[in-house]
């Protein structure tokens, strides 16, 4: 049993990290920080002033982010879910905004989705992310009403009829959550080592240390669950992966915010963006209720 990353998988992960790293660099976080806080000035409804970064989208397309599971004959890389999961984990770690899952799933279905030329949004549950910035909305968004999204980097619309759950979308979302959870843990540890109070780094205090340790434990448990689900493609494994990854991302971002203290509560720090994105993703694919019911039913199967 070799339940470890292969050399090729490590290389793929590094390549994706390189491309999304351009987005997640200091300049991009600055861009986010300048975005006007939504409770100041004019209230926007559904119309984020933050435009989708088409350049990044095309760069991801060139990298094969959207097409990697397409057959080589169809211009893809012929790779599988484990590779897709590693790519989405990196996107989640860099908090890349945009309908990544919808466009990835549309590769081979919507012309231009595979190369990143065409941005595809999709209804998932009762929500559509990035509807106004997308070129195509699947399966359509009749009667969509804009929300004032809690996540400034994910404009949201609500649709009247819930769309059915796609298990691959659930798994790729779990991979994004895993990446965000990893990022939250890294940020918390970085801060806990650097920030001094009472004459020593706050990471030396058990109360802070234990918050960080629990973050890592949730990340590692979620990672094993997400990677295994990518290998088995078993619906129960995928449901388990989503529950663990949601928990790791949402609680991890909260703990990261707590470790940052007052700084974590500011608009300028990136911490709140991790938490808000984790909340948005936790609503996808029927939310936790659907996954818990599926796993309960599996116990009596």
Applying CB under 8 A, the residues found at the interface with other proteins are: 1-6, 9, 82, 185, 189, 192-193, 200-201, 203-206, 209-210, 212-214, 216-217, 220-225, 227-228, 230-232, 236-237, 239-241, 243-244, 289, 291-300
Cβ 269 to other proteins shortest distance, Å: 20
CB 144 within 8 A of CB 121: no
Phi, psi dihedrals of residue 299, rounded to the nearest 5°: -65, -25
Cβ 295 to other proteins shortest distance, Å: 4
SS3 207: helix
Cβ 166 to other proteins shortest distance, Å: 19
Q: Which is nearer to other proteins, 101 or 259 (CB)?
A: 259
Which residues lie below 8 Å from residue 267, measured CB to CB, with a gap of 6+? 33, 37
Cβ 260 to other proteins shortest distance, Å: 15
Cβ 155 to other proteins shortest distance, Å: 31
Q: Which is nearer to other proteins, 128 or 171 (CB)?
A: 171
Give, in order, the Cα–Cα distances in Å from 43 to each of 47, 48, 122: 10, 10, 25
Beta strands at 136-138 and 120-129: parallel, antiparallel or unpaired = parallel
Q: What is the DSSP letter of 163?
A: E
Q: Which is nearer to other proteins, 38 or 201 (CB)?
A: 201
Cβ 209 to other proteins shortest distance, Å: 4
Q: Which is nearer to other proteins, 147 or 228 (CB)?
A: 228
Cβ 266 to other proteins shortest distance, Å: 24
H-only helix segments in 64-110: 81-93, 100-106
Q: How far is CA 97 from the centre of its chain?
A: 8
Strands of the sheet containing 156-163, edge to edge, are 136-138, 120-129, 156-163, 145-146
Q: Which is nearer to other proteins, 132 or 292 (CB)?
A: 292
How far apart, in whole angstroms, are the C-alpha atoms of residue 112 and residue 38?
Answer: 33
How far apart, in whole angstroms, are the C-alpha atoms of residue 150 and residue 172?
Answer: 22
Give, in order, the Cα–Cα distances in Å from 182 to each of 92, 93, 104, 137, 178: 9, 7, 22, 31, 6
Q: Which is nearer to other proteins, 161 or 207 (CB)?
A: 207
Q: Which is nearer to other proteins, 75 or 80 (CB)?
A: 80
């Amino acid at each position: 049993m070799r339940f470890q990353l292969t050399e090729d998988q490590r290389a793929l992960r590094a390549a994706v990290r390189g491309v999304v790293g351009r987005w997640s660099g200091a300049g991009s976080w600055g861009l986010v920080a300048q975005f006007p806080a939504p409770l100041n000035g004019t209230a926007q409804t559904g119309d984020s002033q933050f435009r989708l970064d088409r350049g990044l989208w095309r760069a991801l397309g060139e990298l094969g982010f959207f097409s990697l599971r397409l057959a080589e004959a169809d211009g893809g890389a012929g790779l599988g879910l484990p590779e897709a999961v590693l790519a989405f984990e990196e996107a989640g770690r860099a908090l890349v905004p945009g309908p990544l899952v919808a466009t990835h799933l549309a590769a081979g279905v919507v012309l231009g989705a595979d190369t990143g030329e065409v941005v595809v949004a999709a209804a998932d549950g009762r929500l559509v992310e990035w509807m106004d910035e997308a070129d195509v909305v699947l399966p359509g968004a009749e009667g969509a009403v804009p929300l004032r999204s809690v996540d400034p980097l994910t404009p949201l619309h609500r649709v009247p009829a819930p769309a059915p759950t796609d298990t691959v979308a659930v798994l790729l979302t779990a991979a994004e959550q895993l990446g965000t959870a990893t990022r939250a843990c890294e940020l918390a540890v970085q801060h806990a080592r650097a920030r001094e109070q009472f004459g020593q780094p706050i990471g030396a205090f058990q109360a802070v240390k234990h918050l960080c340790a629990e973050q890592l434990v949730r990340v590692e448990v979620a990672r094993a669950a997400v990677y295994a689900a990518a290998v088995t493609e078993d619906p129960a494994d995928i449901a388990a992966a989503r529950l663990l990854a949601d928990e790791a991302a949402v609680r991890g971002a909260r703990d990261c915010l707590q470790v940052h203290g007052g700084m974590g509560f500011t608009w300028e720090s990136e911490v709140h963006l991790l938490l808000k994105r984790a909340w948005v993703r936790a609503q996808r694919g029927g939310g936790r209720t659907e996954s818990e019911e599926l796993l309960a039913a599996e116990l009596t199967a």
